[in-house]
Copies of this chain bind each other. A is one copy, B any other.
């Protein structure tokens, strides 16, 4: 540990979600020393949000010995531009409909450097710093939540690309003819099939297209979630199992394509859908090995994040704080 790490042993991590903003003060082993949270919404401006955030933060900053113990702050947020430290037109955050220089605003309010990245990238950095990707230089993080996000690490560095918007693997086209409409306005994207909402859509589609009995038929089709499909599959429901086979096969084939970019050591999966465990992971690995280019066969590991869901995002955000020079 260098001198500065001893003098300033902590970073602040902020997981800025559509509903809640969770703060943690983290040491360099990934231990969360103090935590607090505010609602993300309900402010008329970014200034009001930052003011409320800093008020909440001040309490936990004092708990760890004051701002002089804090090296930096890292933020994981939707539509974050890493290069500019801005949130850019986040559709679900009322005070960020335009371009908000959030990193600079926090930096001025707190007096420490602040870096910002998007949530999937923060998860990848967290996994590299504290999780199953520790020590890896080349891996792909895939987040399976409401959408399909990704964070790509090459040569030990996160891939930001020319404009900070690299790593949108949820929007590769998997179905080129008559693909499902995707939230992005295009059709056939991986996300339209393999997100949590995509899994529910697949279940509704299979229920409509077959007469096979299924526990899921007891529900209102529109109310089915990926969790319901997972529970039904766990009970041996054949149709629900087919939903996961379909989802895993598509994810495995997509990963086979992703391998041609960066020949990763591992694919790391994160997010609600991974709770389905082997129901999802087995067909992913099987489809990957059936489809991948010969040179990559059998090389990549398929891992599920071991970081606890609620703290992973805060840890990931904090990890980018350590990287600020």
Contacts and interface: CB of A to CB of B under 8 A. Distances in A.
A306 interface: no
Contact of A291 (B186, B253, B291): B186
Given A157-B155, A173-B291, A291-B173, A163 B263 contact: yes
Nearest to A290: B186
Interface of A is mostly: loop
A165 interface: yes
A270 to B, nearest CB: 18
Nearest to A163: B263
A295 interface: yes
A176 B250 CA distance: 11
Nearest to A164: B263
Interface stretch (A102-110, A202-210, A254-262, A315-323): A254-262
A175 B173 CA distance: 11
B261 A186 contact: no
Interface string A282-325: 00000000010111100110000000000000000000000000
A154 B165 contact: no
Interface in A155-176: 155, 157, 159-176
Contacts of A154: 154-155, 157, 159, 161, 166
A184 interface: yes
Contact of A293 (B184, B293, B299): B184
A256 B299 CA distance: 27
A262 B154 CA distance: 10
Given A172-B257, A253-B173, A293-B171, A262 B184 contact: no
Given A154-B154, A257-B172, A291-B173, A262 B296 contact: no
The list of the 8 closest CB pairs from A to B, nearest first, reads A161-B263, A166-B263, A168-B260, A162-B265, A171-B293, A172-B257, A165-B295, A161-B262
